[in-house]
């Protein structure tokens, strides 16, 4: 008897499901289950787990189906395999592919973490002894499919069992029952069909037009094995593929050709790290690449240098483009043009003379050349009577004026306040303190001294007391000159022309980009691979075309195989043999009895 245990929504065991009918499938195509019980025995909710102890048969209930016209309840959900398949394995941010390394069980643990399924799954902690080397899953692969393909690449298979708390995953080597000496006892019936003469020359057509189209030939041998089509293990550019027919072994009547047309096959860009300086680095540095701060490839930029050349001959564009040349290129002093103007004599005063006289000109001849100078205004001093004391009166009173008769004179300072023993007289280099006020103090105070620390300074006068409407502030005012007929001119036209060219006087400056200093392991060369994607599609096409070998086996009911195991056999009379991969298991439990059906085919 086989029991199916169920849990509550918190995944705590709640009991055994009475009288279940389970239909569970996993592998290629479907990874789900359907569980039917009597409505009276309804026990599960969405989120409950169901499982057969010590097996990989189980899953999570996602939905419940019931009807008023039926006495049954149907639980629908994902098998453990379906839970893995409902998560996507994405490439890391900023990278093209996820790359996996290490022991297979350790990698399974990493995948569980990446799929965010650590709550329900765990990997076996001991090593599997199966090494995964730089395996790159397809971009955005579903979890279960990615695991099967990864393990299949190293002839391994996925094992799992629910231990009451989590589903434990581990890897084991695939078992090849097809080449097992005891395989004959495992098959109740065997039918093999083999069609040997299938396509052995596939012409793959990629991007491009006519003779520029990407073309590569894929050949197989008499056993269907793909002949070498690349010169190195991991090509990064077109030249590393074998593009001729040198690897063809089946010819003439034995050759069967088909065309694989994929004009949309993408061109792969590979950036190869440079370990030594390319021979064309100095001239073609911009055709190479460097990684920027965002881990993106960008073209190498040159180092800018100014090249200054003294002009010995007149440039062809001198007359129209002289400002592009230099008097001194180091200081960026460019050539200036020579302005030529025409003037007309004014016989009448212009209406805007008083406000725009500086727009007119005066004729001037210095005996050697003629000039037209801008008309200058007439400047005069204006004195305004002060009605308020200036804020700087005490310090700058000498900048103000007093009117004496018809003239304005600068304000004279007054003698400072006499202080006994505060001033000194000087005789030679000797200073004598004054204890009396000299008779000429008011007019001659500047001949006496005051002591400032250890030095002596001449006594300074002080500002007179400010009086309203007595003192004046001076300002300078410019007014238009008196217009005189036939003295002034107006400019009627102006043209700026190139100066006369003189050899070795002028310079040109051009910017020249030079290659940066080369550093190994810093720069990259971009290589285009027109064949990588084309070949991948071509190999898949060859697999399809080779599908003329088929196997029909009735497997013993008592035997059980894992997804990925190999089964096959040989028909004794014709010696025709075939091998297939177990790619699907269908498990049914009814009345406590279990039956398992296996299907074969390609894992996908």
DSSP labels, 130-144: -EEEEE-PPTTEEHH
Q: Left if phi > 0, otherwise alpha if psi is -120 to 50, otherwise beta: which for 321?
A: alpha
Task: Decide if 238 is inside a domain.
Answer: yes
User: Which of 83, 114, 136 is the last residue before a domain boundary?
Assistant: 83
Question: Residue 234, exposed/middle/buried by CB under 10 A (0-12, 13-18, 19+)?
Answer: exposed
Are 33 and 50 members of one domain? yes
Are 491 and 372 members of one domain? yes
Whole-number Cα distances in Å, 425 to 444, 462, 464: 11, 19, 24
Distance CA 556, CA 186 (A): 6
> What's the structural domain count of the chain?
5
Are 344 and 225 members of one domain? no
pLDDT of residue 333: 94
pLDDT of residue 600: 81
pLDDT of residue 192: 57
- DSSP-based three-state secondary structure for 350: coil
Are 231 and 348 members of one domain? no
pLDDT of residue 190: 56
**pTM score, two decimals?**
0.49
* Residue of 526, 586, 572 lying closest to 270 (CA atoms): 526
Are 66 and 214 members of one domain? no
Task: Check if the beta carbon of residue 431 is closer than 8 Å to that of residue 424.
Answer: yes
Are 354 and 312 members of one domain? no
User: Which of 64, 83, 102 is the last residue before a domain boundary?
Assistant: 83
Q: Which domain holds residue 62?
A: 5-83
pLDDT of residue 186: 47
Helix (H) / strand (E) element for 324: namely none
pLDDT of residue 148: 95
Task: Decide if 214 is inside a domain.
Answer: yes
Q: Which residues of 126-161 are buried (b: 16+ CB within 10 A; e: fewer)?
A: eebebebeebebeeebbbbbbbbebbbebebbbbbb
Mean pLDDT per segment of 10 residues, for the chain of length 604 residues?
A: 92 94 92 95 94 95 92 95 94 90 96 95 96 92 94 95 95 85 49 67 93 94 89 92 94 90 92 93 92 90 90 94 94 92 94 94 92 93 93 92 93 91 92 92 92 92 91 94 94 91 94 90 94 94 72 59 83 69 91 88 72
Task: Decide if 16 is inside a domain.
Answer: yes
pLDDT of residue 480: 95
pLDDT of residue 184: 43
Task: Decide if 37 is inside a domain.
Answer: yes
Question: Residue 603, exposed/middle/buried by CB under 10 A (0-12, 13-18, 19+)?
Answer: middle
Whole-number Cα distances in Å, 237 to 116, 208, 219: 37, 16, 20
Are 12 and 74 members of one domain? yes
Task: Decide if 58 is inside a domain.
Answer: yes
Task: Decide if 454 is inside a domain.
Answer: no
Are 11 and 79 members of one domain? yes
Distance CA 163, CA 287 (A): 59
pLDDT of residue 293: 86
- DSSP-based three-state secondary structure for 490: strand
Are 320 and 295 members of one domain? no
Which pair of tokens denotes residue 393?
Answer: 């009166």
Residues 6+ apart with CB under 8 A from 169: 105, 108, 112, 121, 122, 123, 124, 158, 159, 160
Task: Decide if 191 is inside a domain.
Answer: no
User: Which of 63, 83, 103 is the last residue before a domain boundary?
Assistant: 83
Are 77 and 13 members of one domain? yes
Task: Decide if 166 is inside a domain.
Answer: no
Distance CA 319, CA 134 (A): 67
Are 30 and 41 members of one domain? yes
The residue to which tokens 């072994």 are assigned: 249
Q: What's the DSSP call for residue 387?
A: S
Are 355 and 492 members of one domain? yes
Per DSSP, what are the bridge partners of residue 290? Answer: 298, 523
Task: Check if the beta carbon of residue 77 is closer than 8 Å to that of residue 61.
Answer: yes
Task: Check if the beta carbon of residue 561 is closer than 8 Å to that of residue 554.
Answer: no
Distance CA 317, CA 325 (A): 10
Q: Left if phi > 0, otherwise alpha if psi is -120 to 50, otherwise beta: which for 15?
A: left
Distance CA 564, CA 558 (A): 18
């Amino acid at each position: 008897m086989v029991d199916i245990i169920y849990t509550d929504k918190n995944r705590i065991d709640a009991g055994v499901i009475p009288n279940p009918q389970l239909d569970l499938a996993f592998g290629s195509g479907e990874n789900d289950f359907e569980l039917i019980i009597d409505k009276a025995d309804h026990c599960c909710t969405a989120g409950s787990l169901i499982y057969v102890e010590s097996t990989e048969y189980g899953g999570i209930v996602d939905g419940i189906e019931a009807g008023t016209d039926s006495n049954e309840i149907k639980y629908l959900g994902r098998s453990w395999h379906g839970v893995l398949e409902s998560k996507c394995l994405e490439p890391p941010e900023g990278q093209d592919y996820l790359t996996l390394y290490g022991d297979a069980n350790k990698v399974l643990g990493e995948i569980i973490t990446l799929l965010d399924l650590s709550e329900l799954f765990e990997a076996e902690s001991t090593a599997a002894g199966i090494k995964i080397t730089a395996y790159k899953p397809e971009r955005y692969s579903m979890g279960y499919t990615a695991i099967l393909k990864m393990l299949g690449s190293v002839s391994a298979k996925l094992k799992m069992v629910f231990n009451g708390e989590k589903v434990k995953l581990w890897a084991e080597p695939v078992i090849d029952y097809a080449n097992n000496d005891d395989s004959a006892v495992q098959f109740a019936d065997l039918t093999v069909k083999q069609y040997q003469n299938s396509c052995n020359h596939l012409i793959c057509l990629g991007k491009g037009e006519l003779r520029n189209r990407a073309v590569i030939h894929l050949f197989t041998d008499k056993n269907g094995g793909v002949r070498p089509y690349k010169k190195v293990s991991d090509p990064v550019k077109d030249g590393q593929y074998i593009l001729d027919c040198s690897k063809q072994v089946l010819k003439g009547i034995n050759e069967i050709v088909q065309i694989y047309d994929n004009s949309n096959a993408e061109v792969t860009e590979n950036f190869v790290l440079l370990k030594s300086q390319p021979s064309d680095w100095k001239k073609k540095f911009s055709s190479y690449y460097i990684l920027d701060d965002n881990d993106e490839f960008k073209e190498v930029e040159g180092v800018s240098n100014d090249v200054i050349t003294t002009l010995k001959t007149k440039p062809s564009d001198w007359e129209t483009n002289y400002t592009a040349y230099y008097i001194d290129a180091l200081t960026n002093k460019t050539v200036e043009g020579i302005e030529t103007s025409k003037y007309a004599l004014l016989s009448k005063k212009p209406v805007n003379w008083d406000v725009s006289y500086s727009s007119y000109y005066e004729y001037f001849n210095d005996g050697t050349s003629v000039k037209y100078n801008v008309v200058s205004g007439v400047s005069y001093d204006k004195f305004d009577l002060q009605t308020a004391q200036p804020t700087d009166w005490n310090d700058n009173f000498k900048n103000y004026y007093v009117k004496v008769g018809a003239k304005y004179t600068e304000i004279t300072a007054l003698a400072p306040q006499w202080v006994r023993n505060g001033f000194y007289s000087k005789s030679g280099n000797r200073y004598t303190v004054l204890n009396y006020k000299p008779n000429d103090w008011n007019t001659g105070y500047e001949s006496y001294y005051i002591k400032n620390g250890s030095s002596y300074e001449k006594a300074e006068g002080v500002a007179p007391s400010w009086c309203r409407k007595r003192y004046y502030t001076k300002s300078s005012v410019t007014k238009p000159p008196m217009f005189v007929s036939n003295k002034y001119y107006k400019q009627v036209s102006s043209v700026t022309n190139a100066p006369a060219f003189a050899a070795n006087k002028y310079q040109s400056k051009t910017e020249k980009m030079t290659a940066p200093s080369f550093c190994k392991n810093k720069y990259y060369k971009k290589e285009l691979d027109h064949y990588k994607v084309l070949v991948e599609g071509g190999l898949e096409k060859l697999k399809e075309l080779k599908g003329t070998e088929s196997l029909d086996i009735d497997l013993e009911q008592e035997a059980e195989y894992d997804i990925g195991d190999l089964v096959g056999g040989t028909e004794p009379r014709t010696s025709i043999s075939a091998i297939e991969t177990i790619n699907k298991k269908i498990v049914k439990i009814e009345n406590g009895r279990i039956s398992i059906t296996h299907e074969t085919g390609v894992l996908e």
